[in-house]
Amino acid sequence: MTSDNSVTRSEHPSDHPHIEALHHAAFGPGARARAAFRVREQAPHDLSLSFLTALNGAIIASVRMTPVLVGATEGLFLGPLVVDPPRKGCGYGKALMRRAVAEAAERGWSFVILVGDEPYYAPFGFKRLPPGQVALPGPVDPARLLCAELEPGAVAGLSGMITAARR
Ligand SMILES: CC(C)(COP(=O)(O)OP(=O)(O)OC[C@H]1O[C@@H](n2cnc3c(N)ncnc32)[C@H](O)[C@@H]1OP(=O)(O)O)[C@@H](O)C(=O)NCCC(=O)NCCS
Domain ranges in the chain are 6-164
Q: Please report, as a single letter, which amino acid is at residue 54.
A: A
CB atoms within 10 A of CB 27: 14
One of 3.40.630.30, 3.10.20.30, 1.10.645.10, 3.30.1490.100 is the CATH number of 6-164, namely 3.40.630.30
Q: Which residues does a 6 A CB cutoff place in the pocket of ligand 1?
A: 26, 79-83, 88-94, 116-117, 119-120
Output the pLDDT for position 27. Answer: 87
Output the pLDDT for position 167. Answer: 64
Q: Hey, whose CA ends up nearest to atom 5 of ligand 1? A: 93
- Residue 55, beta-bridge partner list: 6, 58
pLDDT tens series, the chain, 167 aa: 555 689 999 999 999 999 999 999 888 877 667 888 888 988 899 999 999 999 999 999 999 999 999 988 999 999 999 999 999 999 999 999 999 999 999 999 999 999 999 999 999 999 999 999 999 999 999 999 999 999 999 999 899 999 988 76
Residue 64: name the closest of 29, 104, 35, 32 by CA. Answer: 104
First to last CA, the chain: 37
Q: Hey, whose CA ends up nearest to atom 7 of ligand 1? A: 93
